[in-house]
Copies of this chain bind each other. A is one copy, B any other.
Amino acid sequence: MKQIIIASTSTVHGGQYLDYLLDTLKIHFKDTEEVIFIPYARPSGITHKQYTEKASDAFNKIEKKLIGLHTFKNPKEAIDNAKGIFVGGGNTFVLVNALYKFNLIESLQDAIKKGTPYLGTSAGSNICGLTMNTTNDMPIVYPPSFKTLGFVPFNINPHYLDPNPSSKHMGETRETRIKEFHQFNTQPVIGLREGSWIEVKDNNLQLKGNLQARIFEHNQEPYEVDPDTFLNELK
């Protein structure tokens, strides 16, 4: 049975790292005391060790031990044996590049199939979609492919940001960018606002958190869905 949490962000404004999710994570990872942490997305370029320490501090609060994947000689084997997996945010290009380099795509897909609970935040959520083509990140490295894990049959846009009507900046809004995506791709995109997440339990996909999400389907006007809506039909 699939057990996945796909969170827009690790940290909501004014909060501490993961604190808004800790109660949920306690249940999500209830069957294991150890969770493998994939620190490859390296936010602000911090080291794998620094990042693992930061994430560990949050997991310690719910009495779970995080083990950084960089500490294993054979990361593929570590994923195969994992009882829980957390992929943190940072730069999606850097993350995906590393997943291909260490040949982890299939291992992660197999882990999900056999029911290993997975948590992704930000870049770690982006990769749960079909492709990383709707990341907000800067393409600071060139990964061998934009194809990602495909845990859900659509794409994720984390940190979804509504247009700011008072902005004088002439760069594209998020909505414009996703509409451009749909000129070249047909899969739906979920704009997940900060503090929202998708909970996958086997074949049930449900929006969680207090905010609506914005859904972009090919050749349709975007629309909002309320918290607790099931997204099982979206593909």
- A residues within 8 Å of B by Cβ? 9, 11-14, 42-45, 90-91, 93-94, 132-142, 145-146, 159, 161, 168-172, 176-185, 194
Query: Among B45, B90, B134, B161, which residue has its beta carbon within 8 angstroms of that of A169?
Result: B161
Bound CA–CA A178/B146 (angstroms): 21
**What are 22 A-B pairs at a CB distance below 8 A?**
A12-B170, A14-B168, A42-B180, A44-B176, A44-B180, A90-B180, A94-B180, A94-B184, A133-B139, A133-B140, A134-B138, A136-B171, A137-B172, A137-B177, A138-B178, A140-B181, A140-B183, A141-B184, A142-B145, A159-B170, A159-B171, A170-B194
Bound CA–CA A184/B139 (angstroms): 11
Q: How far is the CB of A173 from chain B (nearest CB, A)?
A: 10
Given known A45-B183, A171-B161, contact A138–B136 (CB-CB < 8 A) = yes
Total copies of this chain within the assembly? 2
Bound CA–CA A146/B97 (angstroms): 14
Given contacts A133-B140, A137-B172, 12 further A-B contacts (CB under 8 A): A13-B168, A13-B169, A43-B180, A45-B179, A132-B139, A133-B138, A133-B139, A135-B138, A136-B138, A138-B172, A140-B177, A159-B171
B140 touching A184 by the CB < 8 A rule? Answer: yes
B42 touching A183 by the CB < 8 A rule? Answer: yes
Given known A91-B180, A169-B161, contact A133–B141 (CB-CB < 8 A) = yes
Interfacial chain B residues near A135, Cβ < 8 Å: 138-139
Q: Is the interface of A mostly helix, strand, loop or mixed?
A: loop
Interfacial chain B residues near A170, Cβ < 8 Å: 9, 11-13, 159, 194
